[in-house]
Structure 1
Amino acid sequence: MLCALGAAVCFGTATVLQAMATREAADTGGGGDAALLLRALRQWRYLAGLALDGLGFLLQIAALRSIPIYAVGAALASSLAVTAVVAAKLLRVRLSGVEWGAVAVVCAGLAMLGLASGTEGDRGGSAALKYAMLGTAVGVLLLGTVGGRLPGRGRALLLGLGAGFGFGVVEVAVRLIDSLKPSDLLTNPATYALLLGGGAAFLLLTSALQRGSVTTATAGIVIGETIGPAAVGVVWLGDRTREGLTWLAVLGFVVAVAGALLLARFGEAPTANPTPVAEPTRPRS
């Protein structure tokens, strides 16, 4: 669980550092996306963000090999809470009372999950499941083709869900790879599912954030990368909770994901002016 939380901290902090570097790169010159990326790569914050992403991925793999997928998925969704807190500090983004409450809700949900989670399931996964993950990865690419033709909010939601499914394929595929020998990796469908699912997820995520609502896209990602993989882990891979604490694990999962959804606007760290805090006596619009 510490590895899963460490991955969330890495991913959430990396998002803010890369946003800061991109903002500074945009202020120092014009040009297209390629020129902006080249200038960002000369910023130490951007490089630090990439390093944190790499470390977070390694921690994610370690967590997936030790605890149930449902716990890892909820912990990774909590990276939005990390992004919100770090953005409030470094980017001077002002959080509303509801958003600070959502951060607390995420922490409470993760605490319940930590108490209730057992060890990873003892089932290795059938060949049919491995091919099903590969088929799902291909389906994610097709979903991106369809979603790219939709307008507005529907496009962002469908692309976000597709990206979430892709990240979910990665989570499950890690559990389905039981040998790191080159010969075994090359003949394991889960290897190709991991590569294709991860690549498709990043493509869909980029498209969703560039051409749609960040909040809508991120909500789709959170739903796609948590619920499906958690079900696969429980039903097909034997993930369980500590004896008598199933109810606490379910409650913690729901609470953590719900809190992450409330923080969905931090799916892409703000790069413009700080968002004003809502008046405490008025509901947020």
Structure 2
Amino acid sequence: MICALGAAVCFGTATVLQAMAAREAASAGGGTGDGGTGGGAGADAALLLRAVRQWRYLVGLALDGVGFLLQIVALRSLPIYAVGAALAASLAVTAVVAARLLHVRLSRVEWGAVGVVCAGLAMLGLASGAEGDRAGSIALKYAMLGTAVGVLLLGAAGGRLPERGRALVLGLGAGFGFGVVEVAVRLVDDLAVGSLLRNPATYALLVGGGAAFLLLTSALQRGSVTVATAGMVVGETVGPAVVGVVWLGDRTREGLEWLAVLGFVVAVVGALALARFGEAPEGGA
């Protein structure tokens, strides 16, 4: 659980640092920094090149890498439902760090949501058992690969939707992709090169992760941050949790099933209340 929470801290802090670097880069280049309006792909590429020269952006990338490693460790030790809820809590970290570094004003409701997320994670920590001991079937591995490919197709179709529905569909698709990564990590049981190359879960992890980042980036650029992030939170928590319980044997401590369910719901609902922090907001007045 410490690793899962550490991953959430890394991801949440990285979001704010990268947002700060992107704004400095946009200011230096005289642009708006808004990938969804005005400039085209060339302007976005130029902004990215300026951003990677900022130390905050590089620190953010390093934190993302550390967070991913901590996520892998957590997924090898905890039920998927606990790790997924902890990762959704990165929105609470982003909110708190944004309030400190970007001087964003959090409402009382949002501060309450931060507390709700923490309470939900505390309940999950008390109720979670060890990871399931079932080996994933070959059918499940191919199902994850098929889902990852489906996420790519969903992105192609979702990009043609009207603006109102586009952000939700792309955000959900991104969540499904990140969910594939969570499950695929558990399905990779042999790290030998030959076994990795023969394991469909390896390709599911790569395709799902890549597709998730592409869809999330598109959703944040071309629609509502709040809607896209809410869709992502639902997609990356609920589905993988069900897979872990039904097919991989994830369980709770004896007699604490109710506490795990309550903690999961509370943590996810609290994260949804903080969905606008899926992309760190502009500095508050």
Shorter-chain TM-score tier: over 0.9
SS in 2 for 1:16: helix
Number of matched pairs:
274
1:119-142: per-residue Cα shift (whole Å, max 9, x none)? 000001000000000000011011
Q: 2:174 maps to which residue?
A: 163
Does the CA-based 8 Å contact 1:30-1:36 persist in structure 2? Answer: no
Q: Deviations over 1:202-238 (max 9, x none)?
A: 0100100000000000000000000000000000000
Query: Which residues of structure 2 form unaligned runs of 5+?
Result: 32-42
Paired position in structure 2 for 1:283? none
Query: Is 2:105 the counterpart of 1:94?
Result: yes
Deviations 1:177-202 (A, max 9, x none): 00110000000000000000000000
User: Hey, what's the Cα distance between the residues in 2 that align with 1:213 and 1:206?
Assistant: 12
Task: Answer yes or no: is the 8 Å Cα contact 1:121–1:239 preserved in 2.
Answer: yes
Aligned partner letter, 1:87: A
Q: Distance in 1 between matches of 2:225 and 2:157?
A: 19
- In the alignment, the residues of structure 2 paired with residue 155 and residue 36 of structure 1 have an alpha-carbon distance, to the nearest angstrom, of 24
Give the match's secondary structure for 2:29: coil
Q: Which residue of 2 is the match for residue 34 of structure 1? A: 45
Deviations 1:85-118 (A, max 9, x none): 0000000000000000000000000000000000
Instruction: Give 1:273 deviation, angstroms.
Output: 4.1
User: Are 1:209 and 2:225 matched, yes or no?
Assistant: no
Percent identity at matched positions? 85
| 1:142 lines up with 2:153 in the alignment | yes
Matched, 1:72 2:87: no
Residues 239-250 of structure 1 mapped to structure 2, 5 A cutoff: 239-250=250-261
Which one-letter code corresponds to 1:234 in the other structure?
V
C-alpha contact (below 8 Å) 1:69/1:120 kept by paired residues: yes
Give the corresponding residue for 1:282.
none
Please tell me the residue identity of whatever aligns with 2:6.
G
Runs of at least 4 residues off by over 3 Å: none
Given the alignment, which residue of 31, 47, 54 partners 1:43?
54
TM-score (norm 2): 0.95
Query: Which runs of 5 or more residues in structure 1 are unaligned?
Result: 277-285
What is the identity, as a one-letter code, of the residue corresponding to 2:18? Q
Question: Which stretch of structure 1 is more off in the superposition, 145-154 or 122-131?
Answer: 145-154
Following the alignment from structure 2 to structure 1, what is the Cα–Cα distance between the partners of residues 45 and 169? 27
SS where residue 92 of structure 1 aligns? coil
Tell me, in whole angstroms, the C-alpha distance in 2 between the residues paired with 1:92 and 1:162. 32
Which of these residues, 37, 55, 61, is aligned with residue 66 of structure 2?
55
Please give the TM-score of this superposition, normalised by the length of structure 1: 0.95
Q: 1:257 aligns with which of 243, 268, 278?
A: 268
Task: Please give the residue correspondences for 1:181-192 in structure 2 after superposition, counting only pairs within 5 Å.
Answer: 181-192=192-203
Per-residue deviation, 1:38 = 1.3
Aligned pair partner of 1:107 in 96, 118, 130: 118
Show the counterpart of 1:219: 230
Paired amino acid for 2:17: L
Question: Which of these residues, 199, 203, 208, is aligned with residue 210 of structure 2?
Answer: 199
SS at match of 1:28: helix
SS at match of 2:203: helix
What is the CA-CA distance between 1:30 and the residue it aligns to? 3.8
